[in-house]
Amino acid sequence: MSDSYDIVVIGAGPAGYHAAIRAAQLGMSVACVDKTLGANGEASLGGTCLNVGCIPSKALLDVSHRFATTKDFAALGLKVADVELDLAGVQAHKDSVVQKLTSGVGMLFKGNGVTPYQGVGSLLPGSDVKVTKPDGSEETLVAKHVILATGSEPMRIGAAPVDNDRIVDSTGALEFTEVPKRLGIIGAGIIGLELGSVWARFGSEVVVLEALEKFLPSADERIARDALRSFTKQGLDIRLGTRVLHSENYGDGVRVTYLVNDEEQSLECDKLIVAVGRAPYTAQLLDDDSAVNLDERGFIFVNEQCETDASDVYAVGDAVRGPMLAHKGMEEGVMVAERIAGAKPSVNYDCIPSVIYTHPEIAWVGQTEQELRENGQDYKAGSFSLGANGRALASADAEGMVKIVSDADSDRILGVHVLGPQASELIAQAVIAMEFGATAEDLGLIMFAHPTLSEAVHEAALGVAGHAIHAVNRQRRK
């Protein structure tokens, strides 16, 4: 007899495991099917994020940042003997964090009564799920509701086919056992910049080839400009307007040919990272007769509530429209579990924070000035430089700024943009303020502890009305 559940979730990444745990908390019987195997051949829950995404990349970013900043110690009055890189030790640290968190999801499943299944899940017509186990055996789970959370995979381009040796994707780039002397990266998006930062700090000469003429087009224009200058100073050679045409092995490395101003140029490197984006992953997921549809870009088609075209089947996370971010999938997973339980929550897609974990970090939520201008919306802006923030100066880490834009009439905050250390943490204040419909004046009236980086958020809010204290305001108002 088949096992039956109130909910079967396919995919145990952040979107799927949040859905599963929340549904179990709400008293439903839940199974979660996932196919990922760790290096030890055992199930490794947590999806891309915990295994080969957010977490391992942040482990390498944080360690490499500490390594790179030791050279600044002398200016702070600290003498250290030469700091040496032990890359095997760094990788062991990264792997142990991944192991701790992926096994932690297993423990959370156990504690909440979620039944895990190892294997590939496929949605059969209706809402039953077939699980194909690693040994090839099959089992059918009977489900009242199914949540598809199969995530995404690195996008491929014919111009640089990944061979997992010289040409790697983001997963391969987290596993280098030696620091490449010359590292090429295709794509100056979030993943390309983060991985480029890691290996540049460890000593690689990094060249980033980016097809677009504009650097980080979704970020605030001023912040993107300042960030480009900062990354260039750190040794990232970011070449905009360069479209990669093809790549070929030569000697021990790769020769990449690219087009710039209609002229072919080439780059020789030891390793090449392809970081041109991610595509939704739905291989083997849908039976031919399933009523679930994909959109024209291959995402599972859903409405605002993450309902697919098939009744009782939902889809969440990277496999559906919207930014491919772990926290966006987590909130969708929780929303769907609660809606199945009869509640009516929704996800506020206008308030999703974006973060790039370089140094300085870049974080934003809401709209940019350029978007508001394009939409013809009147707005006010206030910004504050970390160069005038006591805490940032005390920590010798004062590169960056906070910018707040608010509606010209209502003063309601429309967007907050941060470049600086801990921008990823500072942006949470902006998300909270915007979720509560705060005005810039509201933020300006709140007391912030001194000395903190957060005071820059306060000052930027005061700056919207022209009365930041530690800045000479261009417009003076009462």
Question: Half-sphere exposure (CA, 13 Å, Cβ side) for 354?
Answer: 22
244 or 334: whose CB is closer to ligand AMP? 244
Q: Which residues contact 180 (CB under 8 A, 6 or more apart)?
A: 199, 204, 269, 270, 271
> Residue 226 Cβ, how far from ligand FAD at the closest point, in Å?
21
Residues 68-87 that bind ligand AMP (CB under 6 A): none
116 or 196: whose CB is closer to ligand AMP? 196
Cα gap 280→308, rounded to integer Å: 15
> Residue 221 Cβ, how far from ligand AMP at the closest point, in Å?
16
Applying CB under 6 A, the span of 162-170, 187-195, 228-236, 374-382 interacting with ligand AMP comes to 187-195
Residue 65, Cβ density class (10 Å: 0-12 exposed, 13-18 middle, ≥19 buried): middle
For residue 68, how far is the Cα from the chain centroid? 23
DSSP 387: G
Q: What is the contact surface with ligand FAD in residues (CB under 6 A)?
A: 10-16, 33-36, 47-49, 53-54, 57, 120-121, 149-152, 170, 191, 281, 284-285, 317-319, 324-327, 329, 357
Q: Is 236 in the site for ligand AMP (CB under 6 A)?
A: no
User: Quick one: tokens of 425?
Assistant: 């943490």
| Residue whose entry in the numeric block shows the structure tokens 């470049």 | 419
Active-site position among 359, 417, 450, 467? 450
218 or 395: whose CB is closer to ligand AMP? 218
CA dist 383 → 41, 139, 473 (Å): 51, 58, 10
> Residue 417 Cβ, how far from ligand FAD at the closest point, in Å?
18
Which residue among 227, 244, 330, 443 contacts ligand AMP (CB under 6 A)?
244
Please write down the long-range contacts of 299-308, taking CB distance under 8 Å and 24 or more positions apart: 300/148, 304/346, 304/347, 304/349, 305/335, 305/336, 305/339, 305/346, 306/332, 306/335, 306/336, 308/148
Q: Is 457 in the site for ligand AMP (CB under 6 A)?
A: no
Note if 450 is an active site residue. yes
Residues 127-186 that bind ligand AMP (CB under 6 A): 157, 159, 186
36 or 383: whose CB is closer to ligand FAD? 36
Cα gap 431→211, rounded to integer Å: 31
Cα gap 462→335, rounded to integer Å: 35
Residues 396-435 that bind ligand AMP (CB under 6 A): none
Q: Is 356 in the site for ligand AMP (CB under 6 A)?
A: no
CA dist 392 → 111, 281, 401, 447 (Å): 42, 42, 11, 18
Residues 291-330 that bind ligand AMP (CB under 6 A): none
187 binds, among ligand AMP, ligand FAD, none (CB under 5 to 8 A by kind): ligand AMP
152 binds, among ligand AMP, ligand FAD, none (CB under 5 to 8 A by kind): ligand FAD
The residue number with the shortest CB distance to ligand AMP is 189
Cα gap 286→47, rounded to integer Å: 19
> Residue 159 Cβ, how far from ligand AMP at the closest point, in Å?
5
Question: Half-sphere exposure (CA, 13 Å, Cβ side) for 463?
Answer: 22
Q: Is 355 in the site for ligand AMP (CB under 6 A)?
A: no
> Residue 245 Cβ, how far from ligand AMP at the closest point, in Å?
8
* Positive or negative torsion for Cα 231, 237, 240, 243: negative
Q: Is 243 in the site for ligand AMP (CB under 6 A)?
A: yes
Which amino acid is located at 69 in the chain?
Answer: T
Applying CB under 6 A, the span of 58-66, 188-196, 247-255, 456-464 interacting with ligand AMP comes to 188-196
Structural element, H or E, at residue 240? strand 236-240
> Residue 132 Cβ, how far from ligand FAD at the closest point, in Å?
8
Q: Which residues bind ligand AMP (CB under 6 A)?
A: 157, 159, 186-191, 209-212, 243-244, 276-277
Q: Which residues are catalytic?
A: 450
